[in-house]
């Protein structure tokens, strides 16, 4: 059954779930979820990021994020590092995390290509740009 929902939120959430399912399926063989892959990527770009920084950047609930970070820490993909304020958790990639991200990159790239194939390159670029702008405008 297909219904064009009039609610922007419901429509975006449905699309996000479908896209997430596709990426999760593509990533399955890597041993990483798409969320873990994204966190490894972000920590590669923003070493020593705080939980608050990651939560804001990814628009994630801090409790969910903290749970994911702890699982990744147990798997030795990331490590907590000391900060001036000991109450503040900062995170970095470990060599193992960097290797796992590198190994999972082909699966992620395959998911990206599948998305572009399904949407068309121009539409995929426009959609990514529009969603980025939407996130920026609505988060302020």
Q: Is residue 14 part of a domain?
A: yes
Identify the three-state secondary structure at position 85: coil
Averaged over 10-37, what is the pLDDT?
Answer: 95
Q: Is residue 104 part of a domain?
A: yes
Q: What pLDDT sits at residue 87?
A: 74
Alpha-carbon dihedral sign for residues 5, 10, 16, 17: negative
Which tens digit of pLDDT belongs to each residue from 36-71?
Answer: 999 999 999 998 999 999 999 999 999 999 999 999
CB-based contact 113:75 (threshold 8 Å): no
Question: Where residue 19 sits, what CATH number does that domain have?
Answer: 1.10.10.10
Identify the three-state secondary structure at position 90: strand
Q: What pLDDT sits at residue 2?
A: 81
Q: Is residue 109 part of a domain?
A: yes
Q: Is residue 2 part of a domain?
A: no
Q: Is residue 3 part of a domain?
A: no
pLDDT at 7 over 90: yes
Q: What pLDDT sits at residue 4?
A: 84
Count: domains in the chain: 1
Q: Is residue 43 part of a domain?
A: yes
Q: CA 122, CA 5: separation in Å to the nearest integer?
A: 24
pLDDT band at 3 (very low <50, low <70, confident <90, very high): confident
Domain interval for residue 95: 8-139
Which tens digit of pLDDT belongs to each residue from 62-121?
Answer: 999 999 999 999 999 999 998 777 777 899 999 999 999 999 999 999 999 999 999 999
Q: Is residue 1 part of a domain?
A: no
Q: What pLDDT sits at residue 110?
A: 96
pLDDT band at 140 (very low <50, low <70, confident <90, very high): confident
Give residue 59's region: left, alpha or beta (phi > 0; psi -120 to 50): left
Q: CA 87, CA 90: separation in Å to the nearest integer?
A: 10
- Long-range pairs, 133-139, Cβ under 8 A, ≥24: 135/59, 139/56, 139/59
């Amino acid at each position: 059954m297909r219904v064009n929902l009039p609610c922007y939120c419901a429509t975006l959430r449905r699309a996000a779930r479908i896209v997430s399912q596709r990426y999760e399926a593509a990533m399955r063989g890597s041993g990483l979820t798409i969320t873990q892959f994204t966190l490894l990527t972000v920590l590669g770009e923003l070493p020593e990021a705080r939980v608050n920084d990651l939560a804001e950047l990814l628009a994630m609930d801090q409790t969910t994020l903290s749970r994911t970070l702890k699982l990744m820490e147990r798997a030795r993909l990331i490590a907590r590092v000391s900060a001036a304020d000991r109450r503040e958790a900062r995170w970095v990639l470990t060599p193992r995390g960097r290797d796992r991200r590198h190994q999972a990159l082909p699966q992620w790239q395959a998911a990206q290509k599948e998305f572009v194939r399904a949407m068309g390159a121009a539409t995929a670029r426009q959609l990514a740009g529009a969603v980025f702008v939407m996130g920026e405008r609505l988060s302020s």
